[in-house]
Amino acid sequence: QQPVQSPQAVILREGEDAVINCSSSKALYSVHWYRQKHGEAPVFLMILLKGGEQKGHEKISASFNEKKQQSSLYLTASQLSYSGTYFCGTGYSGGSNYKLTFGKGTLLTVNP
Amino acid sequence: DAGITQSPRHKVTETGTPVTLRCHQTENHRYMYWYRQDPGHGLRLIHYSYGVKDTDKGEVSDGYSVSRSKTEDFLLTLESATSSQTSVYFCAISRLLERIDEQFFGPGTRLTVL
């Protein structure tokens, strides 16, 4: 099953903060976050692994709650360049971490 | 960009015709993937490969086949295209960086089936 992302869309003014959530009904091994601008390919932002290891963009932070099977992406002091659709991709415990299942995306619009 | 190219970048075809999309990588990565992206559905995995001649199905594999005869090329074939296969197709590779595998995407192919 696809992970569920919330909200589906959010509109911010430059400098405001946002949180995007990704929830799964299955036990997670990893969560991968991507941003996609219109007409372009998704771009890797961050990966979080079960056990606490993470790697990603220096200006973006995220959390991974293994018990709740969810991850949150924190966008602080948003810039115009943050606009785009954010996707989470999940790898499942017991399955292959090389196969990801993506959520439907969250559209983030940052206005001046 | 992980050295991934896709061809063609745009294609318009008619229902019932065969179509082959090509993904080419230059960095010798073992894992390669084909996704389709449709409004309201996000990215959905069609097929993936874990080595030359080693492939497996994803969640939306019906109507698609793949082949990988060389490490650098992963082909996606629509044997008889249907209008429901109109979509944007992304190829991806999995790259190990600092002990963590990350997926990187190619530029995409926009396919329209009339």
Query: With bands split at pLDDT 50, 70 and 90, how would you rate the model's confidence at A24?
Result: very high
- Chain B contact probe: residue of A53, A98, A107 with most B CBs at under 10 A: A98
| Cα dihedral sign, B44-B50-B53-B56 | negative
pLDDT of A95 above 90: no
pLDDT of residue B98: 63
Collect all residues of chain A within an 8 Å Cβ-Cβ radius of residue B46. Answer: none
Contact at CB, A41 and B94, closer than 8 angstroms: no
Collect all residues of chain A within an 8 Å Cβ-Cβ radius of residue B41. Answer: 104
Nearest to A41 among B40, B59, B106 (CB): B106
Contact at CB, A44 and B41, closer than 8 angstroms: no
- Chain B contact probe: residue of A92, A104, A107 with most B CBs at under 10 A: A104
Contact at CB, B41 and A41, closer than 8 angstroms: no
Contact at CB, A42 and B98, closer than 8 angstroms: no
pLDDT of residue A56: 72
Could you report the per-residue pLDDT of A28-87, keeping only the tens digit for each? 888 999 999 999 999 999 888 877 777 776 678 899 988 889 999 999 899 999 999 999
Collect all residues of chain A within an 8 Å Cβ-Cβ radius of residue B106. Answer: 41
pLDDT of A97 above 70: no
How distant is the Cα of A15 from the closest Cα of chain B, in angstroms?
Answer: 27
The mean per-residue pLDDT over the stretch A80-106 comes to 86
- In A17-76, the residues whose Cβ lies within 8 Å of chain B are 32, 40-44, 47, 49, 53, 55
pLDDT of residue A93: 62
Could you report the per-residue pLDDT of B48-81, keeping only the tens digit for each? 998 999 999 999 999 999 999 999 999 999 999 9
Contact at CB, B45 and A99, closer than 8 angstroms: yes
pLDDT of residue B1: 59
Distance of CA B53 to the CA centre of its chain: 15
Could you report the per-residue pLDDT of B92-112, keeping only the tens digit for each? 998 876 666 788 999 999 999
Contact at CB, A47 and B98, closer than 8 angstroms: no
Write B6-12 long-range contacts (CB < 8 A, 24+): B6/B89, B6/B90, B6/B91, B6/B106, B6/B107, B6/B108, B6/B109, B7/B109, B8/B109, B9/B107, B9/B108, B9/B109, B9/B110, B10/B109, B10/B110, B10/B111, B11/B109, B11/B110, B11/B111, B11/B112, B12/B111, B12/B112, B12/B114
